[in-house]
Amino acid sequence: FNLNEKKSLLNKTVLITAGPTYEAIDPVRFIGNHSSGKMGFSLAEEAAKRGAKVILISGPSSLNSKHENIELHRVTSAKQMLDKVFEFYDTIDVGIASAAVADYAPKVVASEKIKKSEDTFTVELIKNPDILKTMGEKKTHQFLVGFALETQNEEENAKGKLEKKNLDMIVLNSLRDEGAGFKQDTNKIKIFTKEEKIEYDLKSKENVAQDILDCIEAQILK
Ligand code: C5P
């Protein structure tokens, strides 16, 4: 037991979404993305170290967490992630959406493996629920944090999302910087709250998680 470890989030419940979602096309195929879940699992680990009770809801990821404060729920699709989030939503103090949720899912899921036939094949897609936006709409006391990954007008778009999704904080991932983002162990972020903008250097995702939680603490414990 390390006496120097600060338990600054004791008695707080933090819900984190992580990883990609997989949207089934048929029993053996899906639409997904390359998110590793690293950012979300790093956030979970850091929040747990600080004494929080952590509910980690992850899409398919090879990562694991062993901290006793982390309750890990594995889901596959966006719909399952949404349902899982709302099993806990009333009980949480902080919600952090770091999952790379698929924007669209196949409109119909074939019950049998689709056979190859024609030269072209079309899958009709339908918009997935926006989990974080739904959390924002149902917000009563929860402090909500989102992520944004933009390729143009990044600051404007990030701030737009803060408003539109009714968030308290948004973390902008830079795509322009070498070593930041998907499948990387490092990240370079800017954080926006309603009043502030803070820029950080390129860091390991573990250190980025510390910065994000420091920033959340500064807001919720003030
Ligand atoms: O709108 P956009 O996808 O850029 O927003 C990104 C933020 O919204 C991330 O925090 C992501 O986890 C969350 N999100 C979500 N459900 C979706 C799409 C995005 O929770 N269907």
pLDDT at 79: 98
| Nearest residue by C-alpha to atom 4 in ligand 1 | 148
Smallest CA-to-CA distance from 86 within 46, 43, 126, 57 is with: 57
The catalytic position among 2, 33, 157, 187 is 33
- Whether residue 130 has its Cβ less than 6 Å from ligand 1: yes
Q: Domain extents for the chain?
A: 13-113+120-220
Q: What spacing in Å lies between the alpha carbon of 165 and ligand 1's midpoint?
A: 9
pLDDT in tens, 125-148: 999 999 999 999 999 999 999 999
33 among known catalytic residues: yes
Q: Residue 193 has which token pair?
A: 């709250």
pLDDT in tens, 74-121: 999 999 999 999 999 999 999 999 999 999 999 999 999 999 999 999
Q: What spacing in Å lies between the alpha carbon of 131 and ligand 1's midpoint?
A: 7
Residue 142's CB: how many other CB atoms inside 10 A?
Answer: 19
Tell me if the domain spanning 13-113+120-220 has CATH number 1.10.8.100.
no
- Residues in CB range of 46: below 8 A, 6 or more apart: 206, 209, 210, 213
- Whether residue 135 has its Cβ less than 6 Å from ligand 1: no
Q: Is 6 annotated as a binding residue?
A: no
C-alpha 194/C-alpha 196 separation (Å) is 6
pLDDT at 211: 97
pLDDT at 175: 65
ipTM: 0.98
pLDDT in tens, 157-192: 999 999 999 999 999 987 666 666 666 788 899 999
C-alpha 218/C-alpha 222 separation (Å) is 6
Three-state SS for 130-141 is CHHHHHHHCCCC
pLDDT at 222: 78
For helices 38-49 and 205-220, angle between their N-to-C axes, nearest 10 degrees: 50
- Whether residue 147 has its Cβ less than 6 Å from ligand 1: yes
- Residue 149 · residue 160 · CB < 8 Å: no
pLDDT mean over 26-39: 96
